[in-house]
Amino acid sequence: SLRGAVSTGFRAPSLAQTSYKSIATVFENGVPSEVGHFTVDTPAAKALGARELEPEESVNMTAGFVYTLDAFSFTVDAYRIDIDDRIVLSENLGGPEVINILQQAGELNTQSVRYFTNAIDSRTQ
């Protein structure tokens, strides 16, 4: 027998991905620096290119067959999952240019920043 399915899905950004903001002191080689985790709607994140988060969307496909002979059963299945606009945490953005942008946005003591973004399209098969 043959079997198969096609479906679509979506996942809205979580509350943490849309609302969490923090500034933490991180020590690198014994030197403290302030690292900000900002929401995409803050002036600092917007100035660095952050955009409003979109839902992740997916297309799922499966296909397979089953062959049965007496007490023996043989199955083969294949699948493919495509996810567009996957929400991930950006890398830490830092350096003199970023510090200047952060200061202009009112974040006077923050040396680097990160935020959630729709940055990846993925395929699993």
Q: 82, 10 in Cβ contact below 8 A? A: no
pLDDT, tens digit, for every residue of 46-101?
999 999 999 999 999 999 999 999 999 999 999 999 999 999 999 999 999 999 99
The pTM for the full model equals 0.80
Question: Helix, strand or coil for residue 125?
Answer: coil
Report pLDDT for 28: 84
Pairing mode of beta strands 56-69, 116-124: unpaired
pLDDT in tens, 23-35: 999 998 899 999 9
What is the rounded CA–CA span in Å between residue 108 and residue 78? 53
Residue 8 and residue 56 in contact, taking contact as beta carbons nearer than 8 Å = no
Rounded to the nearest 5°, which phi and psi values hold at 24?
Answer: -125, 150
Angstrom distance (rounded) from CA 87 to CA 54: 8
Task: Parse the chain into domains and list their residue ranges.
Answer: 2-124
